[in-house]
Amino acid sequence: MSALPPLGASLPWMRAAQQALSRAVEADRLAHAVLLQVPRGAGGEWLARWCAARVLCRAATLRPCGECLDCRRVAADQHPDCLVVQPIEDSKEIRIDQVREAIAGLALSSHGGARKVAILAPAERLNRNAANSLLKTLEEPTRGTLLLLVAEAPGKLPATVRSRCTRVVVPAPGRAATLEWLAAHSTARVDWPAVLAAVGDRPLAALEADPAAAAQLAAEVQSSLDAAGTGQLDLVATAERWSRDGYAQRLDCIENWITERVRAAARHGGRAPEMRAGAHLPGAGVALNIRALFEALDLVREARGLAESTVNKSLVLERLLWRLLDPGERAGRHPGRADRAGNRDLTP
């Protein structure tokens, strides 16, 4: 949490959520289980800690003070009344023993006399047994406890868990608001648009990124994608290399590259008259219509979902790169490995 804003802060894209949570705490009607739905990189875990501090800080007014011992302990994950449950290092899941331990902790009386809080983040990582174990607590909560579930995609949670939580939704911050906030928040001289080309409109992810490395990666991916459109990229070799080096970060860069083109297409009434993978915006040429771009975005999301799996990521990336070629190019010039393998599934 070192690079992150202090818990006394109010983040513009979270203001409505922060106000709603604060008013509920003030009126002592905050539900015992709250699902914080926050876009990736926009501060879901920060908001959960903010909410915990709002409950535990004895100097809180409409927001936690951010400076007292309670606030500092919550920010450092060292508050005895605030348990944080995350996938253990190297584990991709939140496991049942972790949830059981948290539930047992919640049953103990609080040190400070206020509520006991447990943060589960990302809640999508709860495995099935862990979710089932949590369900009992959601159905029969211990008095004075607060469960904060952080999720980017609540649809991935079991409906039984989802339905027992009060949901607070934080909207995506958007490019302009993200840039404005980063410029105001950070004293460092950073080329934020270049960083956002790598991480997307994700203000807290941008803050935590190494600016030079992020900008370099984005530029490299961008020039490769431009080259793909003119048939000058070895798709197989590129996919292979990207699958081994910075897979997730490169997917963010690709998503950005596509999103930029979707925005440009939208400015042209959805017809994408000048869209072409091989041209800088506004480029010349034909081909990448808005439908192809949205299909490619779907593929990026699918590819990201496979990041933790054992699926052959090189093939996944190759399929994605193919989708970013114009149809003429796809028809003949780049017989991909997928085709050679005769794998219909992976043929665009």
The token pair at 63 is 């927001």
Q: Using CB under 5 A, which residues numbered 119 to 148 contact Zn ion?
A: none
Q: Which helix (H) or strand (E) holds 321?
A: helix 313-323
Rounded CA separation 261/89 (Å): 37
Please state the closest distance from residue 163 (CB atom) to Zn ion, in A.
Answer: 33
Please state the closest distance from residue 72 (CB atom) to Zn ion, in A.
Answer: 8
Please state the closest distance from residue 208 (CB atom) to Zn ion, in A.
Answer: 24
Instruction: State which residue, 5 or 64, has the beta carbon closest to Zn ion.
Output: 64
User: Would you count residue 71 as binding Zn ion (CB under 5 A)?
Assistant: yes
Please state the closest distance from residue 115 (CB atom) to Zn ion, in A.
Answer: 15
Rounded CA separation 133/127 (Å): 10
Q: Using CB under 5 A, which residues numbered 44 to 63 contact Zn ion?
A: 57, 59
| Side-chain-facing half-sphere of 52: CA atoms under 13 Å | 32
The token pair at 146 is 């607060």
114 CB contacts (<8 Å, ≥6 apart)?
A: 55, 56, 58, 81, 144
With contacts defined by CB under 5 A, name the span among 70-78, 144-152, 164-172, 317-325 that binds Zn ion: 70-78
Instruction: State which residue, 113 or 155, has the beta carbon closest to Zn ion.
Output: 113
User: Would you count residue 68 as binding Zn ion (CB under 5 A)?
Assistant: yes
Please state the closest distance from residue 23 (CB atom) to Zn ion, in A.
Answer: 18
Please state the closest distance from residue 194 (CB atom) to Zn ion, in A.
Answer: 36
Of 65, 96, 177, 346, the residue at the interface with Zn ion (CB under 5 A) is: 65
Residue 49 carries which side chain, given as an amino acid letter?
R
Instruction: State which residue, 64 or 122, has the beta carbon closest to Zn ion.
Output: 64
Structural contact between residues 185 and 58, judged by C-beta atoms closer than 8 angstroms: no
Instruction: State which residue, 68 or 227, has the beta carbon closest to Zn ion.
Output: 68
Rounded CA separation 102/98 (Å): 6
The token pair at 218 is 């984005």
- Which residue has 């994608």 as its token pair? 225
Please state the closest distance from residue 146 (CB atom) to Zn ion, in A.
Answer: 16
Instruction: State which residue, 59 or 266, has the beta carbon closest to Zn ion.
Output: 59
- Per-residue buried b or exposed e for 259-273, using 16+ beta carbons within 10 Å of the residue's own CB: bebbebbeeeeeebe
- Site size with Zn ion, rule: CB under 5 A: 6
Instruction: State which residue, 57 or 324, has the beta carbon closest to Zn ion.
Output: 57
**What 3-state class would DSSP assign to 14?**
helix
Interacting residues with Zn ion (CB under 5 A): 57, 59, 64-65, 68, 71
